[in-house]
Structures are given as structure tokens and as C-alpha cells.
């Protein structure tokens, strides 16, 4: 009997990616008497010739499965390498942005003193105060962004989990919620990357753990309102009260966006 031509890896992978695949049906179909060229009679099925064809067909089928397995392993290794490269690229981009922001902060610090003297000479005292206030606000905004980048650079899921668990064990649910809200802010840095969905799920799991702990500690007290994520409708209801603060904060993140586009982030 001639050896069957090994099917392409794509064909094998397509076959085994079907949700309704039944293993024994697949084997029966590929090793049926019809596929081996027999009429299915008992005499033919017990003949040495048929057993030889069955043996060869089984070997071919195993070869196909082994070939598909090797191809799948190769593709998985390629994808893993790409993910590792993307992770290193992301780390490099974050480090570069931190450096750019630090340089910008230093430039503002160096430029602030001579500008103060210039403004004093050119404008009234009231305008000088306004300018100083604006410059101070910009400086504090840059410092907040740098702090956020530092936290993202040092981000560790196990460390965050440990901190939240300690707060929950102490019964400090407000502290745990504050910690999760801060982590939520840090995780937004990864938005738009392949890391972000995992960060979102990680944060959701910790929030659920906090809800369960509160429910056990206070069975008769509703706890949902105390652990709502920052994007929940209840928190969005307070949006009008903090529009001014958010507008200022968003201006700092726009700086981050501009720097990111310059380096292709």
C-alpha cells in the first residue's frame, strides 16, 4: 500500500480546532474499511492484507498527528518570542518616556528662576503670581506623571495582591479600596497593549475578593457601593463635581501622549 501524503499543518490544525470534534469518530473515519479500500466483509477485515493496510494507515495517521503537533509547537514558540519582544519594547518605551519627563521637569526647574525675574520686570505683581501659580501647577503635574510611571515600572501583581490581602485581613476595607483605585490608575498606562486585558482581569479579581470579604464581615450590610470601580455609573455620577480637577490632570496626560507619539509608542 502506498503511504498517504501527510496533510499540510494548516489542514491538521483546522481539523483539531473544531469544537465538535469527537476523537473516536475521527479515528474511525480515518481507519474505516471504506477508507482502506475494503468492502467491509468479515473475511476481508480479518485477512493479512487488510491488517497490513490498517497497520500502514495507522502509522500514516500518527505521522500526520505528530507533524501537526510539531507545527503547532513551532507556532506557539514563535508567538511566545513575539510577546517577549513586545514586552521588552514596552519596558523600553516606558523607560524612555520617564527619562523624557524627567528631563522636561529639570528644564522647567532651571528655567523657572530667570523667568520669575523677567516676569517681575515686565508685568504687574498680580500677573506674576498667576504665572508662578501656573508654573507650579505644571511642575506638580509632571511630578505626578513621573510618580505614576515609577509605579508602573515597579508594578508587581504578587506584591499588589499581598498588600491588598494584608489590608483585608486587618479589616481596613477603605484602605484596600484606595489601594485598588490607585492600581486602577496605574493599569491605564497599559491601555491599548496586549498586557492591558490581563491587568483589568487581575484588578477585577481583587475587587471581587474585597467584596466577598466585606460580605463575610458584615453579612447584613450592603458592600457594593463601597468597592465600585472608577468607571462605574455611580462614580460617574460625581463627575460634575470634579471636572475642574480632571481637566487639569488630563492636560498632563496629554503631554504623555505627545511624547509617546514622538517615539512611536
Same structural domain, 121 and 214? yes
Q: pLDDT for 219-251, tens place per residue?
A: 766 554 444 454 443 343 344 444 444 444 444
The answer to whether position 2 is within a domain reads no
The answer to whether position 19 is within a domain reads yes
Same structural domain, 111 and 219? yes
The answer to whether position 25 is within a domain reads yes
Between 231 and 67, the higher pLDDT residue: 67
Which domain does 197 fall in, by range?
89-262
- Which range of 86-100, 104-118, 189-203, 231-245 scores highest in mean pLDDT? It is 189-203
Helices assigned H by DSSP within the chain: 9-16, 23-30, 42-45, 48-122, 125-153, 157-170, 173-187, 196-217, 233-236, 243-262
Same structural domain, 156 and 208? yes
- The pTM of the full predicted model, rounded to 2 decimals, is 0.42
Same structural domain, 107 and 39? no
Q: Span 133-144, mean pLDDT? A: 85
To the nearest 10 degrees (0 to 180), the angle between helices 125-153 and 173-187 is: 90
Same structural domain, 44 and 103? no
Q: What percentage of residues in the chain have a pLDDT greater than 90?
A: 16
Between 90 and 185, the higher pLDDT residue: 185
Of 154, 158, 207, which Cα lies nearest the Cα of 178? 207
The answer to whether position 202 is within a domain reads yes
At which of 25, 56, 85 does a domain end?
A: 85
Same structural domain, 222 and 158? yes
Q: CB-based contacts of 230: which residues, under 8 Å, 6+ apart? A: 181, 184, 185
- Flag whether pLDDT at 97 surpasses 70: yes
Q: pLDDT for 157-172, tens place per residue?
A: 899 999 999 999 999 9
Same structural domain, 142 and 237? yes
At which of 85, 113, 141 does a domain end?
A: 85
pLDDT at position 224: 44
The answer to whether position 79 is within a domain reads yes
In the chain, the number of structural domains is 2
Same structural domain, 198 and 229? yes
Question: Residue 160: how many CB atoms within 10 A of its CB?
Answer: 19
Q: Residue 128: pLDDT band by 50, 70, 90 thresholds? A: low
- The answer to whether the beta carbons of residues 70 and 100 sit under 8 Å apart is no
**Range with the lowest mean pLDDT among 9-13, 18-22, 120-124, 254-258?**
254-258
User: b/e for 82-107, b at 16 or more Cβ within 10 A?
Assistant: eeeeeeeebeebbeebbebbeebbee
At which of 85, 105, 134 does a domain end?
A: 85
Amino acid at each position: 500500500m502506498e503511504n498517504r501524503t501527510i496533510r499540510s499543518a494548516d489542514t491538521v490544525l483546522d481539523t483539531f480546532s473544531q469544537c465538535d470534534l469527537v476523537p473516536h469518530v475521527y479515528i474511525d473515519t480515518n481507519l474505516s474499511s471504506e477508507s482502506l479500500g475494503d468492502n467491509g466483509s468479515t473475511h476481508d477485515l480479518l485477512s493479512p492484507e487488510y491488517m497490513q493496510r490498517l497497520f500502514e494507515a495507522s502509522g500514516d495517521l500518527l505521522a500526520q498527528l505528530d507533524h501537526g503537533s510539531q507545527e503547532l509547537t513551532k507556532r506557539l514558540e514563535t508567538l511566545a518570542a513575539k510577546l517577549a519582544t513586545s514586552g521588552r519594547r514596552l519596558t523600553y518605551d516606558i523607560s524612555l518616556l520617564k527619562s523624557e519627563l524627567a528631563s522636561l521637569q529639570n528644564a522647567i526647574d532651571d528655567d523657572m528662576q530667570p523667568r520669575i525675574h523677567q516676569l517681575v520686570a515686565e508685568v504687574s505683581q498680580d500677573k506674576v503670581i498667576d504665572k508662578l501659580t501656573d508654573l507650579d501647577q505644571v511642575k506638580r503635574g509632571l511630578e505626578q506623571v513621573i510618580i505614576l510611571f515609577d509605579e508602573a515600572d515597579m508594578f508587581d501583581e504578587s506584591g499588589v495582591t499581598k498588600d491588598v490581602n494584608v489590608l483585608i485581613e486587618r479589616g481596613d476595607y477603605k484602605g484596600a479600596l484606595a489601594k485598588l483605585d490607585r492600581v486602577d490608575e496605574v493599569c491605564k498606562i497599559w491601555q491599548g497593549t496586549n498586557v492591558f486585558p490581563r491587568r483589568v482581569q487581575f484588578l477585577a479579581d481583587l475587587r471581587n475578593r474585597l467584596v466577598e470579604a466585606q460580605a463575610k464581615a458584615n453579612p447584613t450590610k450592603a458592600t457594593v457601593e463601597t468597592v465600585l470601580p472608577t468607571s462605574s455609573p455611580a462614580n460617574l455620577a460625581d463627575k460634575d463635581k470634579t471636572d475642574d480637577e480632571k481637566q487639569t490632570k488630563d492636560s498632563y496626560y496629554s503631554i504623555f501622549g505627545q511624547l509617546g507619539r514622538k517615539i512611536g509608542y
